[in-house]
């Protein structure tokens, strides 16, 4: 869809010449026979590109009826594009690296670069970007170079759901090079469809001439049967990550239950704190507010404040500190399946209990508290 440029658009003018002007057929010096005009967006603003087209001056030469375009042009913008490569790469990066939605990309292009593209146009560029990315990722020559020194391959397959309601994307990865080999969205993940992907991985491995040492997956039925059929002698192991995640579920459920029980048992912090504060308030003599004093007297006032009964309550301080520590422990939800929060809570509460016990033991002996 051609872009509608407003009348007052301020285009930067760019003129391109053919660099090699020898006729490819007869070698004559070619002449300029026409100019091609195009307009497109770059990140630096709109461009008016003038390409000088050449042809052979000899009417008898087959080079006469053909025109040659400047070699540089496709490195700035591909034919038919309304954007230059820099905008194209920016869109692709936003979509695939930053996971921005098309409306977001459209708004950012407008706000940051004053580039107005339609939603369908952006979707179209994203499709092309994805095709280029996939082609590069799957380029056999690149792969051969990458796997040149690899002895054997470890393959994995997994089904991902990129967004809720979308069909599942099946991804085949090779783990020694940490590389996605290919991915395909399967509308119906029947055993036959999944097996087709596994067979494709087999062809890739054969093309590379490398043996497959291991398959890793979450062991869905279709994976188990497909891999057993295509790779009969290759071991198929449970993926660590899936294994841990599946195992973690009951562990974290039990841990969460334990936390609830501990919180039920360790309560009444507010009551303890209030009794300390009430005790302090009752012990503080009610004084009229002191009259404003000159600066030299301030230090003296601060010193005398230390003698105030409410400040001189070390036992109360200790009680409040313990309450704060216990509250911190009860509110701490950090930790994962390998370091469950409930176990951390139990350990921390136990330390507090031992600390209090040490204080009680010291008090029985008649000396002061210790931590
Ligand atoms: Zn010619």
In a domain, 197, yes or no: yes
Buried b (16+ CB within 10 A) or exposed e, 79-111: eebbbbeebbebbbebbeeeebebeebbebbee
- Tell me which residue of 243, 244, 227, 204 sits closest to 156, measured CA to CA: 227
Q: How far is ligand 1, taken at its centre, from the CA of residue 80, in Å?
A: 28
Q: Give me ligand 1 centre to Cα 119, in Å.
A: 45
What pLDDT does residue 311 have?
61
Angle at 206 between CA 200 and CA 207, to 5 degrees: 90
Residue 110 lies in a domain: yes
Centre of ligand 1 from the C-alpha of residue 66, in Å: 10
Cβ contact 105:122 at 8 Å = yes
- Tell me the CA–centroid distance for residue 26 and ligand 1, in Å: 4
The predicted pLDDT at position 309 comes to: 46
CA of 28 from ligand 1 middle (Å) equals 5
- Model confidence at 289, pLDDT cuts 50, 70, 90, reads low
Residue 326 lies in a domain: yes
Domain boundary among 134, 160, 178: 134
pLDDT at 302: 42
Assign residue 29 a region (left: φ > 0; alpha: ψ between -120 and 50; beta: otherwise). Answer: beta
Query: Is the domain of 127 the same as that of 18?
Result: yes
Q: Structure tokens of 294?
A: 């000159």
Using pLDDT thresholds of 50, 70 and 90, give the confidence band for residue 186.
confident
Q: What does the block give as tokens for 295?
A: 């600066």
CA 36 / ligand 1 centre spacing (Å): 21
Boundary-marking domain end, from 75, 109, 134: 134
* Same domain flag for 106 and 23: yes
Verify that 360 and 270 share a domain, yes or no. yes
Half-sphere CA count of 288, side-chain side, radius 13 A: 3
DSSP sequence for 290-328? PPP--GGGHHHHHHHHTTSTTT--HHHHHHHHHHHHHHH
State the distance from the centre of ligand 1 to the C-alpha of 22, rounded, in angstroms: 8
What SS3 class is residue 252?
Answer: helix
Dist. CA 267 → ligand 1 center (Å): 96
Residue 270 belongs to some domain of the structure = yes
Here the CATH number for the domain that contains residue 186 is: 3.30.420.10
In a domain, residue 265? The reply is yes
Structurally, how many domains does the chain consist of? 3
Residue 59 C-alpha to ligand 1 middle, in angstroms? 8
Same domain, 80 and 102: yes
Tell me: do 113 and 186 sit in the same domain. no
**Is the domain of 158 the same as that of 90?**
no
What are 175's two structure tokens?
């783990």
Distance 18 CA to ligand 1 centre (A): 15
DSSP state of 367: S
For the cut 70, the answer to whether the pLDDT of residue 189 exceeds it is yes
Q: Per residue in 12-52, pLDDT tens?
A: 999 999 999 999 999 999 999 999 999 999 999 999 999 99
Global pTM value: 0.54
Asked whether residue 299 carries a pLDDT value surpassing 50, the answer given is no
Q: What is the pLDDT of residues 44-94, one digit of tens each?
A: 999 999 999 999 999 999 999 999 999 999 999 999 999 999 999 999 999
pLDDT band of 136, cuts 50, 70, 90: confident
The percentage of the chain sitting over the pLDDT mark of 70, rounded to a whole number, equals: 90
Structural domain span for residue 193: 138-238
- Compute CA distances 71 → 52, 78, 140, whole Å: 11, 11, 27
pLDDT band at 297; cut points 50, 70, 90: very low
In a domain, residue 244? The reply is no
Q: How confident is the model at residue 310 (pLDDT cuts 50, 70, 90)?
A: low
Task: Look over the chain and give the mean of its residue pLDDT values, rounded to a whole number.
Answer: 87
Give residue 70 CA to ligand 1 midpoint distance, Å.
Answer: 17
Residue 300: per-residue pLDDT = 42
Tokens of 79: 């034919």
Residues 159 and 233 in one domain: yes
In terms of domains, do 126 and 16 share one?
Answer: yes
Could you tell me if residue 230 is inside a domain? yes
Query: Which pLDDT score, from 0 to 100, does residue 34 have?
Result: 95
pLDDT band at 4 (very low <50, low <70, confident <90, very high): confident
CA dist., res. 68 & res. 57, Å (int): 13
Tokens representing 292? 């404003």
For residue 356, report the distance from its CA to the centre of ligand 1, in Å. 100
Q: What is the pLDDT of residue 305?
A: 40
Check whether residue 195 and residue 94 sit in a common domain.
Answer: no
Distance 55 CA to ligand 1 centre (A): 8
CA 58 to ligand 1 center in whole angstroms: 6
What integer is the mean pLDDT of 233-241?
90
Closest CA to 201 of 275, 143, 136: 143
Q: What is residue 290's predicted lDDT score, i.e. its pLDDT? A: 54
């Amino acid at each position: 869809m051609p872009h509608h440029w407003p009348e007052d658009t301020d285009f930067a003018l760019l003129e391109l010449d053919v660099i090699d002007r020898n006729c490819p057929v007869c070698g004559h010096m070619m002449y300029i026979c026409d100019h091609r005009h195009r307009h497109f967006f770059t990140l630096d603003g709109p461009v008016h590109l003038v390409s000088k087209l050449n042809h052979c001056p000899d009417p008898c030469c087959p080079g006469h009826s053909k025109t040659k375009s400047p070699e540089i042009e496709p490195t700035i913008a591909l034919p038919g594009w309304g954007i230059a490569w820099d905008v194209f790469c920016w869109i692709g990066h936003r979509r695939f690296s930053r996971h921005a939605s098309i409306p977001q990309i459209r708004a950012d292009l407008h706000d940051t670069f004053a580039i107005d593209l339609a939603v369908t146009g952006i979707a179209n560029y994203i499709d092309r970007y994805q095709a280029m990315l996939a082609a590069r990722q799957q380029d056999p020559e690149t792969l051969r170079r990458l796997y040149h020194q690899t002895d054997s391959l470890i393959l994995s397959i997994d089904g991902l759901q990129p967004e809720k309601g979308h069909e599942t994307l099946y991804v085949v990865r090779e783990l020694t090079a940490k590389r996605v080999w290919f991915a395909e969205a399967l509308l119906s993940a029947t055993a036959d469809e999944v097996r087709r992907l596994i067979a494709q991985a087999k062809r890739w491995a054969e093309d590379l001439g490398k043996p497959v040492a291991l398959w890793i997956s979450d062991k869905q039925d279709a994976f188990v049967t497909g891999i057993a059929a295509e790779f009969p002698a290759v071991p198929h192991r449970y993926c660590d990550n899936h294994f841990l995640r599946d195992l973690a579920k009951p562990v974290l459920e039990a841990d969460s239950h334990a936390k609830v029980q501990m919180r039920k048992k360790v309560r009444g912090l507010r009551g303890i704190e209030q009794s300390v504060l009430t005790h302090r308030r009752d012990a503080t003599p009610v004084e009229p507010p002191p009259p404003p004093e000159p600066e030299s007297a301030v230090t003296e006032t601060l010193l005398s404040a230390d003698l105030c009964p409410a400040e001189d309550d070390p036992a109360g301080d200790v009680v409040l500190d313990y309450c704060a520590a216990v509250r911190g422990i009860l509110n701490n939800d950090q930790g994962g399946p390998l370091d469950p929060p409930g176990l951390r809570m139990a350990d921390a509460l136990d330390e507090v209990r031992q600390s209090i016990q040490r204080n009680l033991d010291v008090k029985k002996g008649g000396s002061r508290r210790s931590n």
